[in-house]
Amino acid sequence: MQEQIKEQTVPVKVYRTEDRLMVLAPMPGLEPENIQVEVTRDGHLQLHGDLRATLKGVKDLLIDEWSIGFYTRDLELPVPVNGEMANLAYGNGVLNVTLPISEQTIPAQLSLEQVAPGRGLRQGNAGHPPM
């Protein structure tokens, strides 16, 4: 059986505190450089995980329920956020996006810096309230 690569919609958990919106998304098997996050002008959070690996034709694929990559999610945010001040963390196959709530949405394209194999970080505000 030939491996068929398909885009996978990522499930999310969204939490809110008084000043932060947190989005958790499982994206197993990726490295930080495979992940892109965007906060759009119209208040959406877009998550993308690029394809990392495929079977090289040396195995017989018997069941194909998931692949490492081509993860995607477009989520309408419930409140305006400051994308430039966002914190990102990736570890144990889960992406954590922490967005400060703001008066209006500030768009941003975000990426992770690899801090260890399979772990990435981006500190936009290091836990401090945005100015």
Within a domain: 114: no
Within a domain: 118: no
DSSP bridge pairs for 21: 16, 99
pLDDT digits (tens, 9 = 90+) for 47-82: 999 976 665 566 677 777 777 778 999 999 999 999
Q: Dump the DSSP string for the chain.
A: -------EEPP-EEEE-SSEEEEEEE-TT--GGGEEEEE-TTSEEEEEE-------SSS-----S--SS-EEEEEE-SS-BBGGG-EEEEETTEEEEEEEB-SS-B-EEEEPEEEETTEEEE-SSTTSPP-
- Overall domain count for the chain: 1
31: domain CATH number is 2.60.40.790
Q: What is the pLDDT of residue 9?
A: 92
Within a domain: 126: no
Within a domain: 129: no
Alpha carbons 76 and 44: distance in angstroms, whole number: 4
Within a domain: 103: yes
Q: Which domain holds residue 46?
A: 8-108
Q: What is the pLDDT of residue 58?
A: 60
pTM, two decimals, is: 0.85
Is residue 130 over pLDDT 80?
no
Least confident of 10-19, 29-38, 119-128: 119-128
Within a domain: 30: yes
DSSP bridge pairs for 37: 47, 110
114 confidence band (pLDDT: 50, 70, 90): very high
Q: What is the pLDDT of residue 69?
A: 78
Is residue 2 over pLDDT 70?
no
Within a domain: 46: yes
Within a domain: 95: yes
Percent of residues, the chain, with pLDDT higher than 70: 85
